[in-house]
Amino acid sequence: MTRGFLQELVNILFGYISKTSQRSTKVLDFHHPHQLKEGLEGFSLDLSDQPETLEQILVDCRDTLKYGVSTGHPRFFNQLSSGLDVIGVAGEWLTSTANTNMFTYEVSPVFILMEEVLLRKMQSIVGWSDEEGDGLFCPGGTISNLYSILVARYHFYPEVKTKGMGALPRLALFTSEHSHYSVKKSAAVLGLGSENVVVVKCDERWVSSILSEPTLVLSLQGLVPFYVNATAGTTVYGAFDPLCAIADICDKHTLWMHVDAAWGGGLMMSDRHRMKLGAWSVTWNPHKMMGVPLQCSAILVRKRGLLQKCNELGAEYLFQRDKHYEVSYDTGDKSIQCGRHVDVFKFWLMWKAKGSEGFGSQVNKCLENAEYLYDQLQRRADFQLVFGHKPEHSNVCFWYIPPSLRGMPPGPERDSKLHQVAPRIKGRMMEKGSVLIGYQPLGTRVNFFRCVFSNPATQQEDIDFLLDEISCLGHDL
């Protein structure tokens, strides 16, 4: 039964993968929560005491895919993670079949070593030596950023591990107003308090934060700064903080410099787009720009042994010292997790299949797509770019201006109307299912679309389609 059932499931998955790459297929088949909950054509989410037949299980699988969102579709522009890399998928299938945990070499000999190989590769790309670099793969970029604050705090105040925050002065963290919310969220979780995150204003031209010394001085009222998060590739604008300038300030004031390159890290694979990070720790999510299936995020730390000291508790049921192999490979006590999912194999396999060069070309292609979109938007009268400069990353932000607003002078009335355009188009887009793109307001800017490219399957024709579709869906607004 096993093989026959799995083969049928695999055939369903083959069908799904094949449809995902077809432009005639919808990106999603939208239903409201109440519709899905009521049950659609025999698809019921409810669970019962009695088992279903295997035939029904296969139908459930088909329906689950049918009512989901095709994140690998070349016209899915909604999230920083997109695409459906076949080698990556193969890697995940193997990972789930191997069904093991990352805590000890004993149960994950191969995967533990692959993690070491990949971390060293990433550290060397970041510019660190094998001796200084350390790291871990974590469940997502927010947890990676949390680690950076955790190890920074421990580095300056190792007593925090046993005594808690009560034994420490009131600490302050710095991050830019366009940085990811994970810095504030982590500060709340770690007991630092979100109010103690000093949010640095951004400069308008390049949308990147400027952390100047007066900012630091101003913030010193009763607070002890210890950590600065700089962003390499912000979530919405894809902007880069001035990393070298921030590194100099951090160096001078002995502050921990973290670079959140969750999104921008992928650019390190490209000879054309690589930058100098200059950080003590780095978050880099291969599941974003590099197209590795979810999840695959690394925290890299430029101080070997710090993760271990910060987090180890030496549980004897797991990390026995009298094992017959070299126990330094039992890396699980570096982690704030106990069991940890194997996120590394799919990434390793993709690297084998593409080589560093393949990742580089993939990243270059995504950035070329962004430039193409930027060029098209400049030419069209029905769209307005948020920025007049070329994209730094693959993010391109813009408004669609429906005919009714085209003659209207700038001001609160136009803004208020324009603010409603993107959500209404997005709603229609979801109902139609032809394409998917995100929108948001930011600061004083009313709702605008953000297009991001991380799927190498996307071609210029998909970009043309996106603009035509938005125009078509929003023409009457």
**Upper half-sphere CA count for residue 167 (Cβ side, 13 Å):** 11
Alpha-carbon span 284 to 187, nearest angstrom: 19
The Cα–Cα gap between 391 and 283 comes to 22
State which residue, 123 or 249, has the beta carbon closest to its own copies: 123
Q: Which of 129, 212, 320, 416 binds its own copies (CB under 8 A)?
A: 320
Residue 247 vs 262, nearer CB to its own copies: 262
Could you say whether residue 323 binds its own copies (CB under 8 A)? yes
Nearer to its own copies, 61 or 198 (CB): 61
Least Cβ distance, residue 345 to its own copies (angstroms): 7
CB count, 10 Å around CB of 335?
21
Q: Residue 226: what are its φ and ψ, rounded to 5°?
A: -140, -10
Task: Tell which positions 102-161 bind its own copies, by CB under 8 A.
Answer: 105-111, 113-114, 117-118, 121, 139-143, 146, 150, 160-161
Contacts (CB under 8 A) with its own copies, residues 239-278: none
Pick one of 148, 270, 281, 311: the residue that binds its own copies (CB under 8 A): 311
- Piece in contact with its own copies (CB under 8 A), picked from 25-33, 128-136, 213-221, 252-260: 25-33
- Fill in the DSSP letter of residue 69: B
- Of 230 and 436, which CB lies nearer to its own copies in the complex structure? 436
Q: Binder to its own copies among 24, 42, 162, 205 (CB under 8 A)?
A: 162
The span from the CA of 301 to the CA of 307, in Å, is 8
| CA–CA dist 324, 301 (Å, integer) | 29
Q: Which of residues 401-460 bind its own copies (CB under 8 A)?
A: 420, 423-424, 426-427, 430-431, 438-442, 447, 450
- Go through the chain and tell me how many residues it has: 477
- 193 near its own copies, rule: CB under 8 A: yes
Residue-wise DSSP of 126-143? HT--TTT-EEEEESSHHH
**Alpha-carbon distances of 219 from 174, 193, 199, 200, 223, rounded to whole Å:** 10, 15, 10, 10, 7
Binding track, positions 352-391, relative to its own copies; x by CB under 8 A: xxxxxxx---------------------------------
Rounded Cα gap, residues 353 and 33, in angstroms: 40
Binders of its own copies among residues 31 to 90 (CB under 8 A) are 31-34, 36-37, 45-52, 54, 56-57, 60-61, 64-65, 67-69, 71-72, 78-79, 81, 84, 86-87, 89-90
In sequence order, the β-bridge partners of residue 399 are 384
Burial class of residue 195, CB neighbours in 10 A (0-12, 13-18, 19+): exposed
Q: Given candidates 224, 339, 378, 404, which one binds its own copies under the rule CB under 8 A? A: 339
Q: What are the start-end ranges of the H helices in 42-181? A: 54-66, 86-98, 109-126, 141-156, 160-163
- What is the closest distance, in whole angstroms, from the C-beta atom of residue 316 to its own copies in the complex? 5
CB of 113 to its own copies, least distance (A): 6
Q: How far is the CB of 75 from its own copies (least distance, A)?
A: 14
